[in-house]
Amino acid sequence: MSYAQHYAQHIERLLALYTDALLATGNFEAVLIHSGSARYHYADDQTSPFRAYGHFSHWLPASRPEQVLLILPGQTPVYFQVVPTDFWYEQTAHLDDWVAAQWQVQPLERSAAIAEALQGIPGVEIPPLARIAFLGENTHFATAMGLPPECHNPSALLQWLDFQRAVKSDYEVACIRAANRQALLGHTAARHAFEAGGSEYAIHMAYLQACHILDEETPYTNIVALDEKAAILHYQHKRRQSGERSQVLLIDAGCKVNGYCSDITRTFTRPHTAPLFGDLVEAMTALQQSLIRKVRPGIPYPDIHVACHMGITNILLQSGICRGSAEALLEHKVSTLFMPHGVGHLLGIQVHDVGGRMKNARGETQAPPPEYPSLRTTRSTAIGQVFTIEPGLYFIPVLLDPERDGPRAKYIDWDLVDTLTPLGGIRIEDNVLVTAGGVENLTRVSI
C-alpha cells in the first residue's frame, strides 16, 4: 500500500475514534485543534524552533504555527490553512496530493479570520460554540474566537484521545518504519566517523548529513557521547576536540517522517577498548534482543522491565562487576545502580508518546513500581502499540560513589568499576510493534 492508501484509512480511523470520543465523553459535538503558536525568547524577537501540538500532528503532517483543524463526526475534516502575506519569512505552504485529498482546505491569511470562516464552510453546519471543544496550548486564541473556558482542553476528552494514541494505524507504522530506515543511515555514518577518530561534533554532523536533516528537524537532541560522557543519560553537548583516542561511542538519535519519530541507540567500541567492555556490549545486545522476543499482546509492560533487571543482574555477575547470588542482588536492587531508567516508552508523534501510564480511556493511571520510579510505561501491551526496548548498563559516579560505604558495597567489585568508569556505559535501543503473532522489530527489519 502507498502512503495515499494508508493515509486515507488513517483519517477514516481517526474520524471514527473522535466520533466515539465525543459520544463517550458527552458535552461536545465537534473539535477544533490548534497547531500552536510561535514561542519568543524572553525579551527577544527570536523564536524557538516550532513543533506542532501532538493531537494536531496525529491528523495532519504540517508543522506550522497558527493552523486549525475542525473535526465534525460524519464530515470531511476541515483544515484552515493560514498562510500570512509576509516578506520577512518564507510562508509557502504545500500539502502533498495524498494529504490534501482527505481534507476540505480553507486558505486564510490570518488566524483571526477563522471565527468568521467557521460560519461559511460549504455544506457544513457548525454547532453552537459552547458545543465545540478546543484542543491546544493557546487558549487565548480560543477565547478570542468566542469559545468559553469550559471548552478549552476538556480533560475527559483529552484522556480518551491520549489513551487511544498508543495504538497505531498502518499509516503511522509506515511512517515510523521509514523514520527508522532514515535514522539507520545516520547511525552507520556516525559509526564510521567514530572509527575514524572523529569528535562528538564531527560524529553528530556526519549523522545529520547522512540523514539529510538539520538539527532542528531531529525528533530530540541527538545524544553523541564519547567515553565517560556515555554515563550521562541525556548528554546534550558535542565536544569539538579530537576523538582519536576515544574508545566508546554511545549515540542515541532518530529521525522524523510525516511527524512520526524513530528513537535508536547504539554503542560502538574501537579495537583498543578494554576487551571486558566489548564483552559487555555483546551481552547487552543479546539481552536486548531476548527482551524483544518476550513481547506479545496482553502482557504488563513492567514485566519486561523486571526481566531486564534480571538479565542485567546476570551480566553483572558473569562479568565479575558484582559478586554474590542473583537472588541477593535482586533483593537489594543492585542492578538499579547500573540501570536507573525504564526499559522503554511509547513512541509515535512524540518520542515519549502520551498515555504510557494510563489504565483506560477514563484517565485512570497505573503508577510504576516503587523500586522502578522512572518506568514511563505501565500499561499492558496491545496489538498496534509501538514502543522502545532500551536496556542500559552504565558506570555513573553520582549513583555508585555514595554506595562505596553502604550496605550494597559488598556486592560490587570497586576496582573493576573504577577501571570501567572512564568508558561511560552502554545502551541498545530498537523500536518495536506489537502484532497478533508477537512482535515486529521496526529497527532491525528496516536495515
Residues 8-26, buried b or exposed e (16+ Cβ, 10 A)? Answer: bebbebbbebbeebbeebe
φ, ψ at 170 (rounded to 5°) = -60, -35
Report all structural domains of the chain as residue ranges with CATH numbers, in order of start: 3-164 (3.40.350.10), 170-446 (3.90.230.10)
HSE of 149 in the Cβ direction (CA atoms, 13 Å)? Answer: 0
If one counts every other C-beta atom within 10 angstroms of the C-beta of residue 196, the result is 12
d(CA 272, CA 263): 29
pLDDT in 10s for each residue of the chain, 447 residues = 579 999 999 999 999 999 999 999 999 999 999 999 999 999 999 999 999 999 999 999 999 999 999 999 999 999 999 999 999 999 989 999 999 999 999 999 999 999 999 988 888 899 999 999 999 999 999 999 999 999 999 999 999 999 999 999 999 999 999 999 999 999 999 999 999 999 999 999 999 999 999 999 999 999 999 999 999 999 999 999 999 999 999 999 999 999 999 999 999 999 999 999 999 999 999 999 999 999 999 999 999 999 999 999 999 999 999 999 999 999 999 999 999 999 999 999 999 999 999 999 999 999 999 999 999 999 999 999 999 999 999 999 999 999 999 999 999 999 999 999 999 999 999 999 999 999 999 999 744
d(CA 403, CA 412): 9
Q: Which three cell numbers stand for residue 410?
A: 559488598
d(CA 319, CA 52): 46
The answer to whether 434 and 381 have CB atoms below 8 angstroms apart is yes
**Torsion angle, CA of 369/375/377/379, rounded to 10 degrees?**
-10
d(CA 233, CA 240): 20
The answer to whether 219 and 263 have CB atoms below 8 angstroms apart is yes
Q: Please tell me the predicted confidence (pLDDT) of residue 122.
A: 86
Q: Please tell me the predicted confidence (pLDDT) of residue 447.
A: 40
If one counts every other C-beta atom within 10 angstroms of the C-beta of residue 154, the result is 18
Q: Identify the bridge partners of residue 251 per DSSP, sorted by sequence position.
A: 224, 266
Nearest Cα residue to 81 out of 108, 99, 58, 62: 108
The answer to whether 281 and 426 have CB atoms below 8 angstroms apart is yes
The answer to whether 167 and 382 have CB atoms below 8 angstroms apart is yes
Q: Please tell me the predicted confidence (pLDDT) of residue 1.
A: 55
**Torsion angle, CA of 63/64/70/74, rounded to 10 degrees?**
-30
Does the global pTM surpass 0.85? Answer: yes
